[in-house]
Amino acid sequence: MELVVLIAAGLGASFAALFGAFMLRGARAPVEDEPTPGARPRENRVEMFVSDGVLVDATPQARQLLDCAPNERLIWEDLAEVLRTHFPAFPETLPNTRQTLAAAGDPDTHLGIRPEGRSLRLSMTGPSLDAGEYLRLRTEMRDLSRLRLAFARAPFPVWQTDRARGVVWNNPAFTDIALQAGHAEHGSSPFAVLPNEAEELHISRTSIGQRDGGPQSWFEVQSYRLADGWLHFAQNIDAVIHAEATQRNFLQTLTRIFAHLPIALAVFDRDRRLILFNPALIDHTNLPAEFLSSRPNLLSFFDMLREKQMMPEPKDYRSWRDKLSEVIAAASSDLYTEVWNLPSGLTYRITGRPHPDGGVAFLFEDITSEITLTRRFRQEIEVTQSVLDRLGDAVAVFSQLGTLTFCNQAYRDMWGLDPDASLADTGIADATGAWQADCKPSPIWADLRDFVMTERDRAGWDAELVRKDGQCLLTRIEPLTGGPTLVRFSATPAAAQTAPRARETARETARV
């Protein structure tokens, strides 16, 4: 955009130099038709001949000033539009008296108007132009041609306004937009731009409606202060406005969705400002809604949590704040998870997640019920284990897949086995193998393995085992709810009396 401003400044300077050259090259040429000694040739003078309000003849320099073709005929209003820029007193209608007009800001340059019947002769005179100025003028004329072509082809509107905010110059792109908006080609601007007089640069957004009722177009306008007004550049930002509207709608949709989530959510942008939160955050943290709506930064957010006692009190809070950047970095990398045990007895799980465009999101999940249930369940397991460890019988429980899931201390002592000493699971085949190796031959091992692995309805049964040291064991195999199997070993001499009958019962059950 700065390059465009420099081009525009060069355009104005070149145009001014070109106009001055047109006037200077007149070199006080006499208005008479007859050449006089020392006068410049006619083609180097700025003269125009008007008949019945129409330009019928002009020197080449005059046509360059008017920017018209050699055979083009202009009416008096066209001449007035061009010449009044340099000669403010140029008459609006055809004069009937001889006049001499001074150029604005150049008292040495004059425009003479001399009536000749129904015709008028206009002659421009001024100081002589030396060779150096003439060469510089030729260079600036070439630059002016390029600049005019560049602004004529520019796809964005460019225009200049005076101190009264009237349009004094514009490019074709500005004209097209003004006509589409129903504005006159010259005069007022369709862009509602009101820069402050104390500013050197003013950037604003404005919309322009269509004359046919079509959708509005949005533009970002950059206005640069000039000595006599403002130079404006407009760029269409419809795509930006549409993207922002889409983002707002998406954010509103997310807000409605997050409003029903039980997990508290706080999203911070790349500047670490809170941009999104849901009602659950107010419920979980007791932070005031006014505070959250004021878009606090991340440090202020955690300071308020500490003040409300909604986070564990660090031993050294100042050092913790210094480490907050590490927490943010971990959250940005999706590596931050922490459990807060609050003084109130609540337990929160805090999770950090990266957010698009360099932001970060924190999730606050109340896991008090989950932690309480887990602790209670763990306590019940510990109590159950303690009770079974005090039993004299050896007890082992196998899952429906044949994996040892539980055993008591008596089982470990009886068989010299410790399932917790190995990372591998102990299966029913491994367990029966160890039992069989420590007992005298018995036909129940295959039946026992089949009973543990079967999925049909089962009935409990007993069997007798005799260890190699002569100890008699009464083995009770009982199905449990859900499919597991309980195997209990009782050391008793009386087991020998019931063993034959129990063994026959077990075999019949297995066959069924």
Whole-number Å distance between alpha carbons of 480 and 495: 23
Report if residue 246 sits inside a domain.
no
Report if residue 140 sits inside a domain.
no
Final residue of a structural domain among 305, 339, 370: 370
φ and ψ at 28, to 5 degrees? 55, 45
Asked whether residue 397 falls in the same domain as residue 344, the answer is no
> Taking the chain, what is the end-to-end CA distance rounded to the nearest angstrom?
93
Asked if residues 276 and 265 have their Cβ atoms less than 8 Å apart, the reply is yes
Whole-number Å distance between alpha carbons of 467 and 139: 119
DSSP label of 447? H
Domain coverage including residue 336:
256-370
Asked whether residue 182 falls in the same domain as residue 285, the answer is no
- Give the count of domains, the chain: 4
Asked whether residue 275 falls in the same domain as residue 346, the answer is yes
Report if residue 449 sits inside a domain.
yes
**Number of Cβ atoms within 10 Å of the Cβ of 281:** 24
Asked whether residue 363 falls in the same domain as residue 264, the answer is yes
Asked whether residue 50 falls in the same domain as residue 117, the answer is yes
**pLDDT tens, residue order, the chain (512 aa):** 444 444 444 444 444 444 444 443 443 333 334 333 334 444 467 899 999 889 999 998 888 888 888 888 899 999 988 898 889 899 988 998 999 998 888 888 899 999 988 899 999 988 776 777 767 877 887 888 888 888 888 899 999 998 888 888 899 999 888 888 887 656 678 898 888 888 899 999 999 888 777 788 999 999 999 988 999 999 999 999 999 899 888 878 877 888 888 899 999 988 889 988 899 999 999 999 999 999 999 889 988 988 888 888 776 767 776 777 777 777 777 778 888 888 888 999 999 888 877 888 899 999 998 888 888 888 888 888 888 888 889 999 999 899 998 899 999 999 988 888 777 888 999 999 999 999 999 999 999 999 999 888 889 999 999 999 889 999 999 999 888 999 999 987 644 444 444 444 544 544 44
Residue 180's pLDDT is: 85
Residue 23's pLDDT is: 43
Report if residue 411 sits inside a domain.
yes
β-bridge mates for residue 397, sequence order:
406, 486
Report if residue 485 sits inside a domain.
yes
CATH of the domain at 455: 3.30.450.20
200: left (phi over 0), alpha (psi -120 to 50) or beta: alpha
Nearest residue to 84 via CA among 186, 157, 222: 186
Asked whether residue 395 falls in the same domain as residue 345, the answer is no
Asked whether residue 358 falls in the same domain as residue 410, the answer is no
Asked whether residue 165 falls in the same domain as residue 230, the answer is yes
Whole-number Å distance between alpha carbons of 100 and 79: 16
Report if residue 205 sits inside a domain.
yes
Asked whether residue 227 falls in the same domain as residue 272, the answer is no
Residue 390's pLDDT is: 85
Report if residue 139 sits inside a domain.
no
Final residue of a structural domain among 128, 145, 169: 128
Asked whether residue 349 falls in the same domain as residue 414, the answer is no
Asked whether residue 230 falls in the same domain as residue 324, the answer is no
Report if residue 145 sits inside a domain.
no
Asked if residues 163 and 229 have their Cβ atoms less than 8 Å apart, the reply is yes
DSSP label of 426? P
Asked whether residue 99 falls in the same domain as residue 188, the answer is no
Residue 131's pLDDT is: 74
